[in-house]
Structure 1
C-alpha cells in the first residue's frame, strides 16, 4: 500500500490547497512559532521531545515552502511516501 517515491507536493494533505501555497507558508510560520513556545513551556521531557519531533517536521516543510521551486514562499514540499 505504501512505497517510497520522490514527489513534490504543492498543497497540503493529498495536494489539497495547491492553489494557496502562500497561505500554507503563513500557516507553517505560525505553527512553528506556536510549537517553539510550547516546547519551551513543556513541563516534562517527554512532552518537550514530542513537540520537538513535530517542530522538526514543521521546520522541514517550512524550509521547502520558502526555498524550493517554483518561487519563494510558494515552494513545493518534498515527499517520499506514495500510496
Structure 2
C-alpha cells in the first residue's frame, strides 16, 4: 500500500529552506516511508506503530502514520 504525504505549510516552508543535501536526504526518507513506513523508520519513544522517526545524514523528522496518510510533524536539521 502506498501512503499519501501531508505537510503542514509551516513545515513545508522549513523543508524549502533546507540546504540541497538536507532536502534530498529528507525527500529520500519520506519517499521510502510512503511505500512502507514501518520498514523505513524507527520508533519515536514507545513503539506504538504510529509515531516514527526518519533520519538520513544531518536531517531527521517525526512522522505520524494514519490510515492512508503520513504526516510530517517535526523536522530537525543539524547543520
> Do both share a fold (TM > 0.5)?
no
TM-score (norm 1): 0.28
Compare the two structures and name the one with the higher strand fraction: 2
- Highest CA radius of gyration, 1 or 2? 1
Q: TM-score, normalised by structure 2?
A: 0.29
Higher helix fraction (1 or 2): 1
